Chains A and B, each alone.
Chain A
């Protein structure tokens, strides 16, 4: 189902932002997984994990499990007709919750594959680390693995590397297909090998159930990408690369990328930095698609005193006829007394001109000092 307008996307920005606490993050990609996109997702996730963890063994462990998870999706994807992966897009999520990291995947599998998959998972989950090692060797020795890793080597590795049971769930879609959800909890070094239930509390954003709900929501709103955490230049560049690889509409992709650069740099420049972190400005960004537009929504915290200035600039830019705005843009370009583009509203003018639509925005009172500021632009889909 494709929503008609982006109005609903406006309403979900704050609830999404609130899903996680200050120094946590979650990055979710929904759609088709190409080799190129997989690479970019890994890079994006790895960069962010490196920002918050100082344990290189943990970072490697997470990376390894992400690779296995993504390859797992790719393998399942190959087994079903692309028509069906289009109808039922898969999901990849990496989440940080306190000291724990969660890698979750969701993808369709044929109903007749479920039994076999479930048996494999149950077998793996019944084994301890020592037995897993043996099992791994046995499978290798038996040479019974198809080139698609049908013997579940990837799953064994995920369990071994995480030192945890694999959480899984099946959600039936129709007579042919079922969503297969898989989640691995990756503990920090000090917790490694300690049996641990995934997801902690029921309310937590990182439970498998919560990831499933998020996937459902992303399917309903047709969200292609959802990013909640730190915004910095590195993330911007990785997101840019993912979007470039995401869409098979070159004209639209370039436009979306151009708009996204301005939007995210706007957050990086103006947003308040979260306390206790140097990783960047916390915020939320997501990209949705309707039948006409690609809709980009960002949300971040600003100080109360910035609200008036931002409103004024947005109203100014929105209220100006196109040709006047273009002249205004020329004026700012040539105004070297205010050398800093940040102070002049050049970014907003640029967004308004490139998207050729008024900029939608909203503020929400968070507390005595802060506002949650949502900005939305849309790019008309052209092919």
Chain B
């Protein structure tokens, strides 16, 4: 499957979805005005990936800012990973800065709402 790569912009995250390298990562900032449109191709890609995923899928979120519009799309991403988990050993890693209690809280919220192994990782 073709990899999906997006460079970060001022208000959208860097996205690497690369089955060959086995890297799945969304990082930096996600505060676009129109999160719905931004995440549409990402969700499409994961849907396809779910059909023939790698044996193992570690999906990493390392975000600095997430607006509410994005938070609603990010949960869709994670819910799709539940589907990926039917054929793959899925694990979500949620990184947060030790001083960012909001990012930690959002990770905990997602962890509670979804049914995939979900690890919160504190970084200094």
Contact = CB atoms under 8 A, between A and B. Distances in A.
B50 interface: no
Interface string A110-148: 000000000000000000000000000000000000000
Interface stretch (B31-39, B85-93, B115-123): B31-39
Contacts of B33: 233, 265, 268-269
A160 B11 CA distance: 38
Contacts of A350: 68, 71
Contacts of B35: 341
Contact of A336 (B65, B76, B105, B112): B76
A339 B72 contact: yes
Chain A interface secondary structure, helix, strand, loop or mixed?
helix
B51 to A, nearest CB: 21
Interface stretch (B18-26, B54-62, B94-102): B94-102
A214 B112 CA distance: 48
A254 B102 contact: yes
Given A258-B102, A330-B113, A333-B75, A237 B10 contact: yes
B65 A341 contact: no
Interface in A213-265: 233-234, 236-237, 240, 250-251, 254-255, 257-258, 261-262, 265
A341 B73 CA distance: 10
Interface size, A (range): 20 to 34
Interface in A284-334: 326, 329-330, 332-334
B24 to A, nearest CB: 21
Contacts of A346: 68-69, 71-72
Contacts of A233: 11, 32-33
A333 B72 contact: yes
Given A329-B109, A336-B76, A340-B36, A254 B67 contact: no
A333 B109 contact: yes
Nearest to A268: B33
A50 to B, nearest CB: 15
A350 B68 CA distance: 7
Contacts of B99: 250-251, 254
B31 A265 contact: yes
Interface string A331-367: 0111010011110001100100110000000000000
B65 to A, nearest CB: 6
B11 A262 contact: no
Nearest to A350: B68
A258 B32 CA distance: 14
Contact of A237 (B11, B97, B101): B11
B109 A330 contact: yes
User: Closest 4 interchain pairs by CB?
Assistant: A341-B69, A346-B68, A258-B102, A350-B68
